[in-house]
Chain A
Amino acid sequence: MNYEHAQVHVEPGVLGYAKRWLFTTNHKDIGTMYLWFSLIMFFIGGAAAMLIRAELFKPGYVLVQPEFFNQLITMHGIIMIFGALMPAFVGFANWMIPIMIGAPDMAMPRMNNWSFWILPVAGSILLSTAFMKGGAPNFGWTFYAPLSTTYGPDSTDFFIFALHLMGISSILGSINIIATILNLRAPGMTLLRMPLFCWTWLITAFLIISVMPVLAGAVTMVLADRHLGTSFFNAGGGGDPILFQHIFWFFGHPEVYIIILPAFGIISEIIPTFSRKKLFGYYSMVLAIAAIAILSFTVWAHHMFLTGMPNTGEIFFMYLTMLIAVPTGVKVFNWVSTMFKGELTFETPMLYAIAFIILFTLGGFTGVMLSIAPADFQYHDSYFVVAHFHYVMVAGSLMAIFGGVYYWLPKWTGHMYSETLGKLHFWLTMISFNITFFPMHFVGLAGMPRRIPDYALQFTEFNMLSSIGSFTLGLSQFVFLYVIIKTIKGGKKATAQVWDGAEGLTWEIPSPAPYHSFTTPPYIPPESSPHHA
């Protein structure tokens, strides 16, 4: 294929540079911007985490007052979920989906530009709350009423507006992804021949357009309760604080899968490449993703076992939550089977993928434990839960993102990254992650509640360990930043295929990927599908 015209046209000067990024409708540009935005937010959210861990280094006030501590935990959660993890996956989707399915670009390129540029605005509004009178939101990322309604600081309204904007951005991005996958596949690329990453995103996009409006409803009701005299969540006016939790978790639980399903997709690309085998059980993988997505709508109240649910409710949500273990187990078994009798090599992306499988499975095990309603009465709102969801979000989603970045960085930049530095980053992250979060299981079981700025003496040792681990984890990420910048600037030239076991359209176009990859649709022969024998 001839890529001579596949160049970006940039006017000279600062204005030209600004215009090139501000007005771009190119899926690769937008994907890049999503990924950079995510990285910046990741460092800001990480800084908040460092402050939290510094305060918790030992009992007594160490660094911050409890009021500010509550602002930190809120900002850390919101920034990491809406600023770092979700945009990173949208960035991957923008970059990779059109290439993987042989499309020239996303289906709606102008809307794509808009859905990105809403994000920095929303992110700025969110961060600006830290400088407002009364401080940033201080009720945790779950913003339970009445703490966020009657007792929320003034900045809550900005928090609500920022969430609205982020929701709009996600919905637009998802519509675009669905439209792209359903309409722009190259001839021969049937749905069931798509790389699994596309499948995970197709299903994730449907989850997003289903539940983001619910979040928008929740924040709007909070806004109305705060300023319009309604009493949705105020028992004094005939409302119900628990209603808020139902609405929030109807969004919040699928949100967990919105964050983990694309990670499954990335891992399902990496494992076959470095095992030199086709993905095991492609069809059951697709089925499992769909099953997880459907089940995710029916389990929200397992976050609410303590709110005084009738026991039929408790039993119903317990059973359905346990059921999620089945499709999730299928995925893990399939990954292990893909590796089995393969020809394994352990480049950085593969290391991250293996760490993902192990640590995500640990997070899954604690998930099964949490689903047992009677035991949840002890686990709930303790550090055990904190450990659980960091094993899923950090060791799951974030490690998949790291793996994906190392996997596709040569395709994006045309240069190989330094394998030594990549492995250094991996081992630092892997070890310090476990030092940080593994002890949290212990303090949680021993009775330490989450979201407290100070704690009883028996929790001291493990908290110190966690803090030391977290500082290492935070600082290690500068290695990541350095690797990325170094790879962009130069390095060994990458071949088109990059990895010797890599298959699919992504690895047939040159590295770096030309600005416009498929001006004429490629034909996909059946034997090149990810599950052809």
Chain B
Amino acid sequence: MAALFVKILLLLGIPTQVLANLTINMPVGVTDVSQKIYTLHMLVFCICVGIGVVVFGIMFYAIIFHRRAAGHKAVKFHEHKTLEIFWTIIPFIILVVMAIPATKTILEMDDTQDSDLTIKITGFMWRWQYEYIGTKVSFMSDLSTPYEQIINRAEKDEHYLREVNNRLVLPINKKIRFLMTGNDVIHSWWVSDLGVKKDAVPGFINETWARINKVGVYRGQCAELCGARHGFMPIVVEAVSEADFATWLQAQQLAAEQEQPAHSAPATQTAPAPIPAAPATTPNTPAPDAPASAPSPNIQTPAPIAPVPSPNAPTAAHEAAVSPPAPALDAPAQISPVQTEQDKK
């Protein structure tokens, strides 16, 4: 029954696809899960429209024909057992029809087993940190929209507020597991094209996953109110081919290793890469009169990587990376950084 509805929807595929492109509907997305969510969304939407047409149709029939101005006299009735039982049971059956595919999808969404790659995402006030678990690659991703654009002194870019200095680069056709946590308050990592949204809760690690089917750049932003700059912590995912990803990751690794002997910094220093390089290019600078300087490099620069104390202890890097220096902002002292991380890799 449920499958039949989904099939009917797929037959209607062309108009619904058009609807999705007009940015008045949920994006179909580029993962199997996001496509399933979209189908489910359209299924429930169409059922609701159908019910609405019937109920409002009857109502407007009464409004037009059963009004005093049309000379109608009230007919006295106020109960009908069969009818009342009927309209209690029918909605229940419709709900079951919706619940079956919904249950299947939710089970699939929660199944993070057998992943090929794990990315740890940490929400900060107000930026994201990405760590490629099992490698030394780790970097901060900040909004790169110049402050002048936000205060309307410069023309806004096409991707205004949805551009970052360091993109999250991911391979396609791989099951990528995301581990999410928050450093200070609850954030929520949302990229609707991937069908992924999950809260990043300080002190806890949430899991979700995505397998991207298509090369491209996918944009999103923080979805949970996290303070003054909540609207200014975008997410940019760049999905590349597996080969490109391997090359990129290797370059990043190399950069990380080269940088390592140069410093003898303590283990807690995970470099939030772009901050010294391009200060005051983002609204993270709290003062409104802050000198907004050169536009930030909106390219995927290889981020300087966290120096680790010993190359023999890669896991130490992950633990250390959890508590990077506080962003140089007006944020209060951090609390409850994640103490331990049970990483399967």
Report A's interface with B, CB cutoff 8 A: 59-61, 65-67, 70, 138-140, 144, 146-147, 150-151, 234-237, 240-242, 275-284, 306-308, 310-311, 314-315, 318-319, 322-323, 325-326, 329-330, 332-333, 336-346, 354, 357-358, 361-362, 365, 368-369, 372-375, 377-378, 380-382, 442, 445-447, 449-458, 531, 533
Q: Return the contact of A340 from the options B27, B40, B58 (Cβ within 8 A).
A: B58
Most buried by A among B59, B76, B83: B59
Q: Return the contact of A533 from the options B51, B76, B92, B105 (Cβ within 8 A).
A: B76
Looking across the interface, which residue of chain B has its beta carbon closest to that of A382? B223
Looking across the interface, which residue of chain A has its beta carbon closest to that of B111? A311
Chain B residues whose CB sits within 8 angstroms of the CB of A146 once the complex forms: 184-186, 202, 335-336
Chain B residues whose CB sits within 8 angstroms of the CB of A281 once the complex forms: 78-80, 84
Interface residue B82 (Cβ < 8 Å from any Cβ of A):
no
- Evaluate contact between B74 and A372: CB separation under 8 angstroms: no
- Evaluate contact between A237 and B336: CB separation under 8 angstroms: yes
Chain A residues whose CB sits within 8 angstroms of the CB of B33 once the complex forms: 374
Instruction: Using A70-B228, A343-B73, A454-B161 as known contacts, list a sample of 11 further A-B pairs with CB atoms less than 8 Å apart, ordered by residue number in A.
Output: A151-B227, A235-B204, A277-B75, A281-B79, A322-B99, A342-B62, A343-B67, A372-B44, A377-B195, A447-B27, A455-B231
Looking across the interface, which residue of chain A has its beta carbon closest to that of B157? A457
- Evaluate contact between B156 and A457: CB separation under 8 angstroms: yes
Chain A residues whose CB sits within 8 angstroms of the CB of B68 once the complex forms: 276, 343-345
Chain B residues whose CB sits within 8 angstroms of the CB of A380 once the complex forms: 188, 197, 223
- Evaluate contact between A241 and B186: CB separation under 8 angstroms: yes
The contact sample of 27 A-B pairs, CB cut-off 8 A, is: A59-B156, A59-B161, A66-B229, A70-B227, A138-B228, A146-B186, A146-B336, A150-B335, A236-B203, A322-B98, A323-B95, A326-B91, A332-B55, A336-B59, A339-B66, A341-B74, A341-B75, A345-B68, A369-B41, A369-B45, A378-B192, A381-B197, A381-B223, A445-B24, A454-B150, A456-B221, A533-B78
Report B's interface with A, CB cutoff 8 A: 23-27, 33-34, 36-37, 40-41, 44-45, 48, 51-52, 55-56, 58-59, 61-63, 66-69, 72-80, 83-84, 87-88, 91-92, 95, 98-99, 102-103, 105-107, 109-110, 149-152, 156, 158-162, 184-186, 188, 190, 192, 195-199, 201-204, 206-207, 219-232, 288, 331-332, 335-337
Instruction: Give bound CA distance, A378 to B220, whole Å.
Output: 11
Q: Nearest Cβ in chain B — how far from A254, in angstroms?
A: 21
- Evaluate contact between B231 and A339: CB separation under 8 angstroms: no
Chain B residues whose CB sits within 8 angstroms of the CB of A357 once the complex forms: 59
Looking across the interface, which residue of chain B has its beta carbon closest to that of A372? B102
- Evaluate contact between A452 and B230: CB separation under 8 angstroms: yes
- Evaluate contact between B106 and A315: CB separation under 8 angstroms: yes
Q: Which 8 interchain pairs have the tightest Cβ spacing? A: A235-B203, A236-B336, A452-B231, A308-B206, A442-B24, A365-B48, A374-B105, A344-B67
Most buried by B among A310, A318, A362, A381: A381
Q: Nearest Cβ in chain A — how far from B22, in angstroms?
A: 9
- Evaluate contact between A277 and B26: CB separation under 8 angstroms: no
Q: Return the contact of B66 from the options A325, A344, A442 (Cβ within 8 A).
A: A344
Looking across the interface, which residue of chain B has its beta carbon closest to that of A358? B56
- Evaluate contact between A375 and B185: CB separation under 8 angstroms: no
Most buried by B among A150, A276, A378, A457: A378
Chain A residues whose CB sits within 8 angstroms of the CB of B331 once the complex forms: 151
- Evaluate contact between B110 and A346: CB separation under 8 angstroms: no
- Evaluate contact between B223 and A449: CB separation under 8 angstroms: yes
- Evaluate contact between B91 and A234: CB separation under 8 angstroms: no
A333-B55 contact given A344-B66, A447-B192, A454-B150, CB 8 Å threshold: yes
Q: Nearest Cβ in chain B — how far from A93, in angstroms?
A: 25
Chain A residues whose CB sits within 8 angstroms of the CB of B186 once the complex forms: 144, 146-147, 241
Chain A residues whose CB sits within 8 angstroms of the CB of B188 once the complex forms: 306, 380-381
A329-B87 contact given A66-B228, A242-B204, CB 8 Å threshold: yes
A318-B106 contact given A144-B225, A151-B185, A341-B75, CB 8 Å threshold: yes
Chain B residues whose CB sits within 8 angstroms of the CB of A340 once the complex forms: 58, 61-62, 66
A368-B62 contact given A336-B55, A374-B109, CB 8 Å threshold: no
Q: Nearest Cβ in chain B — how far from A387, in angstroms?
A: 12
Instruction: Give bound CA distance, A354 to B55, whole Å.
Output: 12
Instruction: Give bound CA distance, A501 to B206, whole Å.
Output: 58
A330-B87 contact given A236-B336, A241-B186, A378-B197, CB 8 Å threshold: yes
- Evaluate contact between A451 and B225: CB separation under 8 angstroms: yes
Chain B residues whose CB sits within 8 angstroms of the CB of A455 once the complex forms: 161, 231
Instruction: Give bound CA distance, A243 to B21, whole Å.
Output: 39
- Evaluate contact between A308 and B161: CB separation under 8 angstroms: no
Q: Nearest Cβ in chain B — how far from A381, in angstroms?
A: 4
Chain A residues whose CB sits within 8 angstroms of the CB of B156 once the complex forms: 59-60, 457
Chain B residues whose CB sits within 8 angstroms of the CB of A325 once the complex forms: 91, 95
A372-B225 contact given A308-B207, A341-B66, A457-B158, CB 8 Å threshold: no
- Evaluate contact between A344 and B102: CB separation under 8 angstroms: no
Q: Return the contact of B103 from the options A278, A308, A315 (Cβ within 8 A).
A: A315
Instruction: Give bound CA distance, A139 to B152, whole Å.
Output: 26
Instruction: Give bound CA distance, A284 to B222, whole Å.
Output: 44
- Evaluate contact between B24 and A318: CB separation under 8 angstroms: no
Q: Nearest Cβ in chain A — how far from B85, in angstroms?
A: 9
Instruction: Give bound CA distance, A281 to B80, whole Å.
Output: 8
Q: Nearest Cβ in chain B — how far from A413, in angstroms?
A: 26
Instruction: Give bound CA distance, A262 to B26, whole Å.
Output: 34
A284-B84 contact given A67-B228, A241-B203, CB 8 Å threshold: yes
Instruction: Give bound CA distance, A533 to B219, whole Å.
Output: 61
- Evaluate contact between A449 and B102: CB separation under 8 angstroms: no
Instruction: Give bound CA distance, A66 to B151, whole Å.
Output: 12
Q: Nearest Cβ in chain A — how far from B327, in angstroms?
A: 14
Instruction: Give bound CA distance, A278 to B80, whole Å.
Output: 13
- Evaluate contact between B37 and A378: CB separation under 8 angstroms: yes
- Evaluate contact between A345 and B195: CB separation under 8 angstroms: no
- Evaluate contact between B67 and A446: CB separation under 8 angstroms: no
Looking across the interface, which residue of chain A has its beta carbon closest to that of B104? A374
Q: Nearest Cβ in chain A — how far from B60, in angstroms?
A: 9
Instruction: Give bound CA distance, A453 to B316, whole Å.
Output: 39
Instruction: Give bound CA distance, A235 to B206, whole Å.
Output: 14
